[in-house]
């Protein structure tokens, strides 16, 4: 590998030395990390989301900081009524803040060691320094949803943590998981979660992710999902905060007749950066994937959508759709949208679409003609644009939570 | 003084002259109807009064209670009491009809120095008005005009009008797209709003509407100009004869 592709980063010997001796899985990952490093600007998949800024910050492991003391769940963390709440602070499971599980078919265990091999570069970093995590297993129809709350906080020094989540849905089982990521203001923190998902034959997983990190925080999440025959994986991701956020989701179709929906929305102000990178690996016939991502960008923010769709030669009757829509609130932001369709089968239905634009003057006029002033009209239309994205959230309670989050974002923006 | 006065209005769009000196005076309490062939400038006139961008007023004035309407922003005009029921209401995804209505009602109340409408009061009010217009209750939960049928959109425009109680209401082909029963219902809705303080400008292609909403004056617009004015019998005459005689004169 060329030297120029490598990035000098703070996750080397000094970082490791602050932690207790590593187990073999972590040691192995550290060796890989030492060889491969973190992706530099020449790595195609990271071209739009440079890690230079992150690599310059002298992060210490959050676990080694003695001045971090989080005793309660912050008041602004949404409450998911009826859900089993699982709380992690700096990537470590906190039994004292979490609900006990006594739900038929549902098992939640603390994860201690990185037992899945995920090859994405940030997943290697995660495995090298895995902070903690949870494993969730569902059998049968699990009535209670699970709400994972991740709270990040640094002390006097910038701190990093690397949680690992595994979600396993047994054949014909059904589960809903909401994951919300938050943090405390102060020194920057870096959350580097990895989630491995498997949805068994005819299983159903609904996964909802809210990233509302502190405005100085970094959040680089990697998800890999295996979806078996006739299974459904329905996901929605909302990005509302953080200095640099990436939600990377890789889906492998491992059985026929599976249906995957990956939807999401983001809203950015100031210099915030948000990246959705997806990979749909259609390696089986008769599967469908649908993606709709919508972003609202203001200030000098930057939104990225990279959607790779690979349809193998034998993956006939694949239906793969992707759409990215961005709404500019000013002239300052930048959007990078890169659809990448590689199709080797001949009997498929695949398409991508992308639109970017400012607010529709006809919409603004309609509202003005009803006496609504321009500022209120714009607010209503931004809210509408984001609310429209939420149409894809089937769970009514989660819909309400995310809708309230969007209102909160609009209020913070209006008062900024 | 007339409630709404249009004086010698000349308007161009993209360098093309559309309105060629229109003068109309609507007194409080009156209903005026405008009829005219396609493309003669009826919607242009409505849009200019309501304040849509993209029109160049090269001459003339529009006054509401003697105030210069053309100097006001579109939202100000609406708060001052100008209402346009659109010929083609736009669909706005994601914005629920109820959020929109509440925002519009509160904008008006704020301008009048009144407190915001209470949530319960709002629902009660909207429900009552919807009932009169034969609209289902849950319509306001839907995104504004999205997927509404042609007739539903027109009813929704009239619903907005009854909620906002404007001083001058311009109805641009509100009857088109309405079925026979809806036409009656909507007309009754308009008639209940008729009052000595309010004026209407009703644009229509069909005399039938004017059987329900009986106008005080009827004007014929051809080539961006009022070529004839009269009473309600003028509409009957147009229905019978068409515009031929005005077209040849224009
Ligand atoms: N933005 C525009 N650009 C170019 N021409 C325009 C524009 N808006 C209106 N016009 C033209 O102005 C003329 C008048 O249009 P207008 O919509 O006012 O007619 P109308 O009388 O309302 O017709 P209809 O009965 O069909 O609704 C038409 O020839 C139309 O094409
Ligand atoms: Mg018209």
Q: A127 in the Ramachandran plot: left (φ > 0), alpha (ψ -120 to 50) or beta?
A: alpha
Paired with A218 in beta bridges are A190, A244
Among A205, A231, A255, residue at a domain's last position: A255
Which pair of tokens denotes residue A358?
A: 């400012």
Paired with A359 in beta bridges are none
Per-residue pLDDT of chain B (250 residues; tens, 9 = 90+): 899 999 999 999 999 999 999 999 999 999 999 999 999 999 999 999 999 999 999 999 999 999 999 999 999 999 999 999 999 999 999 999 999 999 999 999 999 999 999 999 999 999 999 999 989 989 999 999 999 999 999 999 999 999 999 999 999 999 998 999 999 998 998 999 999 999 999 999 999 999 999 999 999 999 999 999 999 999 999 989 999 888 875 5
Q: What is the DSSP letter of B105?
A: H
For residue B79, the chain A residues in CB contact (below 8 A) are 371
Q: What is the DSSP letter of B173?
A: S
Q: What backbone phi and psi angles, to 5 degrees, belong to A134?
A: -140, 150
Neighbours of A114 (CB within 10 A): 25
C-alpha to C-alpha distances, B170 to A373, B33, B70, B216, nearest whole angstrom: 20, 10, 16, 15
Q: Determine the Cα–Cα distance for residues B60 and B69; give it in Å rounded to an integer.
A: 11
Which ligand sits closest to the CA of B35? Answer: 1
Interface test with B, best of A295, A296, A360, A369 (most B CBs within 10 A): A369
**Residues of B near A (CB-CB distance < 8 A)?**
50-53, 73-75, 78-79, 83-84, 86, 89-90, 92-96, 99-100, 103-104, 107-108, 111, 143, 160, 164
Residue B43, ligand 1, Cβ within 6 A: yes
A366 in any annotated domain: yes
Q: Determine the Cα–Cα distance for residues A128 and B46; give it in Å rounded to an integer.
A: 68
Chain-centroid distance, C-alpha A88: 16
Neighbours of B141 (CB within 10 A): 11
Sequence-separated (6 or more) residues with CB below 8 Å from residue B114 = none
Task: Tell me chain A's radius of gyration from C-alpha atoms.
Answer: 21
The three-state secondary structure class of A50 is coil
Q: Determine the Cα–Cα distance for residues A31 and A89; give it in Å rounded to an integer.
A: 27
CB distance A142 to A174 below 8 Å: yes
CA B31 to ligand 1 center in whole angstroms: 24
Residue B53, ligand 1, Cβ within 6 A: no
Task: Inform me whether the pLDDT recorded for A2 exceeds 50.
Answer: no
Pairing outcome for strands A132-138 and A163-169: parallel
Residue B207, ligand 1, Cβ within 6 A: no
Residue ID of nearest Cα to ligand 1 atom 10 = B13
Q: What is the band of A1 on the pLDDT scale with cuts at 50, 70, 90?
A: very low
Among A255, A279, A305, residue at a domain's last position: A255
- Both A50 and A169 in one domain: the answer is yes
A327 in any annotated domain: no
**Residues of A near B (CB-CB distance < 8 A)?**
360-363, 365-374, 376-377, 380-381, 383-389, 391
Among A255, A285, A303, residue at a domain's last position: A255
C-alpha to C-alpha distances, B33 to A269, B201, B221, nearest whole angstrom: 49, 6, 10
Tell me how many domains chain A contains. Answer: 2
A282 in any annotated domain: no
Q: What is the band of A5 on the pLDDT scale with cuts at 50, 70, 90?
A: low
Which pair of tokens denotes residue B18?
A: 């559309």
- Both A397 and A251 in one domain: the answer is no
A396 in any annotated domain: yes
C-alpha to C-alpha distances, A346 to A284, A316, A317, A329, A343, nearest whole angstrom: 14, 7, 9, 41, 8
What is the per-residue pLDDT for A414? 87
Task: Name the burial class of residue B22, with classes exposed (0-12), middle (13-18) and buried (19+) by CB atoms within 10 angstroms of its CB.
Answer: buried
What is the per-residue pLDDT for A192? 98
Residue ID of nearest Cα to ligand 1 atom 26 = B38
The three-state secondary structure class of A13 is helix
Q: Determine the Cα–Cα distance for residues A398 and A401; give it in Å rounded to an integer.
A: 5
What is the per-residue pLDDT for B67? 96
Among A363, A373, A386, beta carbon nearest to B90? A363
Helix then strand then coil, % of chain A, to nearest 5: 20, 40, 35
A237 in any annotated domain: yes
Domain extent for A113: 3-255
- Both A199 and A77 in one domain: the answer is yes
Q: What is the mean pLDDT of residues A61-73?
A: 95
- String of DSSP letters for A263-327: EEEEEE-TT-EEEEEEEEEE-STT-EEEEEEEEEE-TT-EEEEEEEEEE-TT-TT-EEEEEEEEE
B95 and A384: CB-CB below 8 Å? yes
B89 and A366: CB-CB below 8 Å? yes
Q: Determine the Cα–Cα distance for residues B140 and A214; give it in Å rounded to an integer.
A: 36
Which pair of tokens denotes residue A236?
A: 């929605």
Residue ID of nearest Cα to ligand 1 atom 31 = B39
A309 in any annotated domain: no
pTM of the predicted protein model: 0.90
Neighbours of B233 (CB within 10 A): 9
Among A367, A371, A384, beta carbon nearest to B108? A371
Chain-centroid distance, C-alpha A389: 16
- Both A39 and A164 in one domain: the answer is yes
Neighbours of A407 (CB within 10 A): 13
Residue in the block written with tokens 């193998």? A312
A381 and B92: CB-CB below 8 Å? yes
Residue B93, ligand 1, Cβ within 6 A: no
Sequence-separated (6 or more) residues with CB below 8 Å from residue A227 = A199, A233, A251, A252, A253, A254, A255, A258, A260, A287
What is the per-residue pLDDT for A41? 85
Map out the domains of chain B with their CATH numbers: 4-249 (3.40.50.300)
How many angstroms separate the most distant Cα atoms in chain A?
68
Q: Determine the Cα–Cα distance for residues B220 and B200; give it in Å rounded to an integer.
A: 16
Degrees (nearest 5) of the Cα angle A121, A126, A127? 100
What is the per-residue pLDDT for A115? 82
A43 in any annotated domain: yes
Among B105, B139, B110, which residue's Cα sits nearest to residue B122? B105
Q: Determine the Cα–Cα distance for residues A189 and A186; give it in Å rounded to an integer.
A: 8
Q: Determine the Cα–Cα distance for residues A360 and A378; give it in Å rounded to an integer.
A: 10
Alpha-carbon torsion A160, A58, A183, A276, what sign?
A: negative
Q: What percent of chain A has pLDDT over 90?
A: 94
- Both A366 and A243 in one domain: the answer is no
Degrees (nearest 5) of the Cα angle B177, B181, B182? 45
- Both A241 and A388 in one domain: the answer is no
Task: Inform me whether the pLDDT recorded for A376 exceeds 60.
Answer: yes
- Both A97 and A212 in one domain: the answer is yes
Residue B47, ligand 1, Cβ within 6 A: no
- Both A100 and A246 in one domain: the answer is yes
Task: Inform me whether the pLDDT recorded for A3 exceeds 50.
Answer: no
Which range, of A110-114, A195-199, B42-46, averages the lowest pLDDT?
A110-114
A345 in any annotated domain: no
- Both A242 and A376 in one domain: the answer is no
Q: What is the dihedral of CA A385, A386, A392, A395, to 10 degrees?
A: -140
Among B238, B112, B202, which residue's Cα sits nearest to residue B165? B112
Q: Which ipTM was obtained for this model?
A: 0.97
Q: What is the dihedral of CA A24, A26, A31, A35, to 10 degrees?
A: 150
Q: Determine the Cα–Cα distance for residues A29 and A126; give it in Å rounded to an integer.
A: 8
Q: What is the band of A117 on the pLDDT scale with cuts at 50, 70, 90?
A: confident
A372 and B164: CB-CB below 8 Å? no
């Amino acid at each position: 590998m060329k030297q120029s592709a490598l990035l000098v980063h703070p996750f080397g010997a000094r970082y490791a030395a602050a932690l207790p001796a590593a187990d073999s899985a972590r040691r192995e990952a550290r060796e890989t990390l030492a060889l491969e490093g973190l992706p530099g600007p020449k790595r195609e998949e990271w071209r739009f989301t440079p890690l230079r800024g992150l690599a310059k910050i002298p992060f210490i492991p959050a676990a080694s900081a003695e001045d971090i003391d989080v005793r309660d769940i912050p008041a602004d963390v949404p409450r998911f009524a009826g859900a089993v709440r699982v709380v992690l602070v700096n990537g470590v499971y906190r039994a004292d803040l979490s609900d006990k599980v006594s739900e038929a078919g549902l098992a939640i265990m603390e994860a201690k060691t990185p037992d899945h091999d995920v090859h994405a570069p940030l997943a290697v970093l995660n495995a090298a320094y895995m902070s903690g995590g949870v494993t969730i297993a569902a059998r049968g129809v699990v009535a209670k949803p699970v709400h994972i709350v991740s709270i990040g906080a640094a002390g006097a020094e910038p701190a990093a943590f690397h949680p690992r989540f595994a979600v396993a849905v047994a054949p014909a089982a059904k589960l809903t998981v909401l994951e919300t990521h938050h943090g405390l203001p102060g020194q920057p923190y870096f959350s580097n979660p990895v989630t491995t998902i498997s949805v068994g034959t005819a299983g159903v997983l609904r996964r909802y992710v809210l990233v509302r990190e502190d405005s100085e925080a970094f959040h680089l999440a990697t998800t890999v999902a295996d979806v078996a025959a006739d299974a459904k994986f329905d996901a929605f991701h909302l990005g509302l905060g953080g200095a640099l956020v990436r939600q990377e989701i890789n889906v492998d179709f491992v059985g026929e007749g599976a249906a995957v929906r990956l939807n999401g929305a983001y809203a950015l102000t100031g210099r915030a950066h948000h990246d959705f990178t997806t990979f749909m690996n259609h390696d089986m016939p008769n599967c469908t994937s649908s993606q709709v991502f919508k972003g609202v960008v203001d200030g000098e923010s930057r939104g990225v959508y990279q959607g790779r769709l690979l349809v193998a030669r034998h993956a006939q009757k694949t239906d793969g759709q992707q759409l990215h829509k961005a709404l500019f609130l000013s002239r300052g932001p930048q959007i990078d949208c890169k659809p990448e369709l590689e199709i080797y089968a001949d009997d498929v239905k695949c398409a991508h679409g992308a639109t970017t634009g400012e607010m529709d003057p006809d919409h603004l006029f309609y509202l003005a003609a009803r006496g609504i002033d321009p500022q209120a009209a714009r607010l209503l239309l931004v809210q509408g644009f984001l609310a429209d994205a939420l149409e894809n959230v089937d769970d009514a309670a989660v819909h309400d939570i995310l809708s309230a989050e969007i209102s909160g974002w609009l209020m913070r923006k209006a008062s900024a | 003084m007339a409630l709404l006065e249009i004086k010698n209005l000349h308007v161009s769009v993209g360098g093309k002259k559309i309105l060629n000196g229109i003068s109309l005076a609507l007194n409080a309490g009156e209903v005026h109807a405008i009829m005219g062939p396609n493309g003669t400038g009826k919607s242009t006139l409505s849009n200019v009064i309501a304040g849509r961008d993209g029109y160049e007023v090269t001459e003339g004035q529009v006054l509401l209670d003697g105030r210069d309407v053309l100097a006001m922003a579109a939202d100000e005009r609406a708060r001052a009491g100008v209402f346009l029921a659109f010929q083609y209401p736009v669909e706005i995804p994601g914005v629920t009809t109820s959020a929109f209505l509440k925002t519009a009602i509160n904008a008006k109340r704020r301008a009048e120095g009144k407190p915001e409408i209470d949530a319960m009061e709002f629902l009660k009010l909207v429900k009552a008005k919807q009932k009169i217009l034969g609209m289902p209750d849950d319509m306001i939960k839907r995104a504004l005009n999205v997927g509404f049928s042609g007739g539903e959109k027109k009813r929704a425009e009239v619903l907005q009008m009854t909620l906002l109680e404007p001083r001058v209401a311009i109805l641009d082909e509100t009857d088109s797209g309405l079925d026979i029963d809806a036409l009656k219902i909507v007309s009754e809705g308009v008639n209940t709003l008729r009052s000595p303080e309010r004026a209407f400008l009703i644009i229509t292609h069909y005399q039938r509407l004017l059987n329900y909403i009986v106008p005080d004056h009827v004007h014929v617009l051809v080539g961006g100009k009022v070529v004839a004015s009269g009473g309600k019998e003028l509409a009957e005459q147009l229905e019978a004869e068409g515009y031929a005689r005005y077209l040849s004169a224009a």
